[in-house]
Structure 1
Amino acid sequence: MSTTVWIILAGAVLTFLTRIGGHMVLSRFERIHPRVEAGLNAVPAAVLTTLVAPAAMNGGIPEIAALATGIIVSIVAGGMMPMFLSAAAVLILLRHLTGQ
């Protein structure tokens, strides 16, 4: 097997272990403290912010246009999939047209 395959397999196993580990720890408690639950509910927004913020701060016209498209589509359509697909399409198209 190639090194790339081993890296992908190791990443998959480690991702699975971190996810199942969190579930196993939390399943030991009858009730989750409201502060812990609020913190866990904030994790997806924090992760999304770490992915989007660098593109917003350092990106060029294609990245800014894709972010704007995503915001507008999320307000109009209200769904994650239309927002993602439209922003990705704008990003791919503009990067192709600008040669980036």
Structure 2
Amino acid sequence: MTLDLNIMIAILAMAAATVFTRISGLVLIRHVEMDERRRAAIEAIPPAVVMAVIAPTAFATGWAETLACAVTAIVARRLPMLASVVVGVATVALLRAVGL
């Protein structure tokens, strides 16, 4: 297997863009006054990201995935993101196991 230079440049550019956006977010948030409304908006980001990732799968596949997406959406309002993902994966596995 050979390594293509264009692919390597693309991977490094994507890595740099990811690191830049994460670091800039941490730096910029220090200069923002956090009132309750802004804090609530920032805390809503992780569940929104989870739903953006799993929603296409939920609507493009079967009932097990759609129901697991609904369960994950409900759980994501109360649990941390990692726990919500675990609940969603467990739900879809259970529903597939029972034949739904």
Common topology (TM > 0.5): yes
User: Residue 66 of structure 1: CA displacement?
Assistant: 9.4
Between the aligned partners of 1:66 and 1:12, the Cα distance in structure 2 is 34
Give the TM-score of the pair, scaled to structure 2.
Answer: 0.59
Cα deviation, 1:8-56, whole Å, max 9, x if unaligned, reads: 1111111111111111111124x41211111111001001101111111
In structure 2, the residue matched to 1:98 is none
What stretches of structure 1 of length at least 5 have no aligned partner? 95-100
Q: Return the alpha-carbon distance in structure 1 between the equivalents of residues 35 and 28 of structure 2.
A: 14
Q: Which residue in 2 is equivalent to 1:97?
A: none
Deviation at 1:64, TM superposition (A): 2.1
What is the one-letter code of the residue matched to 2:53? Answer: L
Deviation at 1:7, TM superposition (A): 1.4
Could you say if the C-alpha distance between residues 7 and 67 of structure 1 is closer, same or farther in structure 2, counting changes exceeding 3 Å?
Answer: farther
Give the structure with the larger helix fraction.
1
RMSD: 3.3
State the partner residue of 1:47: 49
Structure 1 runs of 4+ aligned residues shifted over 4 Å read: 81-88
Aligned residues: 83
For structure 2, the residue ranges without an aligned partner over 5 or more in a row are: none
**Aligned residue in 1 for 2:20:** 17
